[in-house]
Structure 1
Amino acid sequence: MSRQNKRRKLFLSHLLHPQTVSVVQTRADSQGLTVEVGDVLRADFSSRDVAGVLVQYPDTEGTVTDFSVMVEHAHENGTLVCFATDLLALTVLRPPSEFDADVAVGSSQRFGVPLGYGGPHAGFFACRQSLVRLMPGRMIGVTRDASGRDAYRLALQTREQHIRRDKATSNICTAQALLANMAAMYAVYHGPHALKDIATRVHNAALILAQGHCCCRCKHIHPVSPLRRLQVLWRKDLSWLSLGQLLPNILALSYVWRWCAGGKKELLATSTNQRCETCLKLEGRLTTPKRDNGNAV
């Protein structure tokens, strides 16, 4: 984005995944870029010093936001807009192109690739035609040979761009071709209709878990809506819980423990019909402190 409009400031949505914010801040610092994190829907780009905006769609809380007005405001002031998005969610949501986004990025892990403790996973990167020559990586152009047959060549970028030092568009020298092929074949095998069915089944599993929360002394911070992550507020104070007490249950259910801004701790859980009952039993135990001589342990 900075290469396109020569600006040195980036604006990140505060509802990006925490790890995304950390990675962008690290990369930006080494390149002398300034990063601001805040509410993109209230951001003012009229100073015309912001190179680009990065938003999560759906965001880290699962909220599906209409960014149309924000994108229009950004473009009026020469700011590019990038969507970090989810392939499976996009099977049932409006694509970033309908918001007039400039760039869309994300991971293809959702298409049949195991989590693998965080990676590796193939990523995808799409942009509008005017930005194609600024994309990192090797871009393959399609042409025709002397016999009129389709031919592929490194037409949009030179092969040596990876060793052009400060003039290179990126330092990408490897590819996750195996993981990309796995995700591609998963999509081809299932097809568009089955992929939508899978996305719907994911949401239905969340609904089943949500319906069981009423039995666990907890309530939802937000109403349950399609593809929204369940945010559960336990009515009891859980400060008595230590990571040592939680860890056996976290590992047994493949929960993911993450730390958020301000020291907030969250548990991310996968939900299937077979596991919902176990998850709810765990939540029931977490809302009832064990007592030893009248003291919580």
Structure 2
Amino acid sequence: MPESAPDGWALVDIKAVGICGTDYHILEGKHPFLNYPRVIGHELSGRVAETTGTWSQGQLVVVNPYLSCNACRACRRGKPNCCSNIEVLGVHRDGGLCARIAVPQENLYPATGLTDLQAAMVEFLAIGAHAVRRAALSGEDRVLVTGAGPIGIGTALFARLSGAEVHLLDVSRTRLNQATEKFGFKDTHLVGNDILSAPLQDGFDVIFDATGNAQAIEAGFSLLAHGSRYVLVSVVKETICFSDPEFHKRETQIIGSRNATGEDFEAVMSAIRASRIDTDALCTLTVRFEDLQSRINDLAKDREALIKAIVTF
């Protein structure tokens, strides 16, 4: 456990850590950007360990886990989320599933008005908020979110807040039922059904993929309307293939959405404070840190029934 931090950094005592698909992929050896061994944990809330800079001891903070270089072209153009030399906590360098962590002060955001658990949910919701902002949605857009896991649900919630008509597609009826019962999404579709029957025969103006599955991403191209946008939120190891004539005749835009920026973190915290996001519905269960080792494999197996599991300290 670090006892001191470099200049410009701060020590943070971790209070809660969300477990997400990335962590399960790491557990299963499926993450494309990771070298082992690694301490996981990037959905982090904590309290400042000692007063430093503008931060006060005991202050609740959200940790932005994307450590950018502030020097590459992307950083200079205000896009630190896709920094050429990015290091993501829990992926490229050890993360926050531990008692204390040192992070750059610029990667901390005050979690005023939030609980420890809510603060630990900001990062994964920011992924969806960033994707929705990248898509530049309007109230006239018909949206399909493929994959009704945590990232997909977060994306759907912010797409709905934009005023768009939101549909969800998934292979799991359990996940779709949760989306309806917990969050009120009525337009849900099970993979294998004819989704393009009337009145959806023209397709979707915007599709967000949150499946982490190459075949699902490729299948999504056929569901796009003419003049549409395809936002790839999930990342896969495989090469993605699509028909160029179908792509061109639709004048489709393909948009990669990676991580999130401070603007997205602030938007999520504002939505939580205003009760526009139901964090109680998002948090399926909590696990004490000392119990995680005995439960992590079961959590990985039971992902269909989980929205968000949060580790507490």
Task: Name the TM tier (shorter chain).
Answer: under 0.3
Higher relative contact order (CA closer than 8 Å, sequence separation 6+): 2
Which structure shows the higher helix fraction? 1
TM-score after normalising by structure 1: 0.27
Structure having the larger proportion of residues in strand: 2
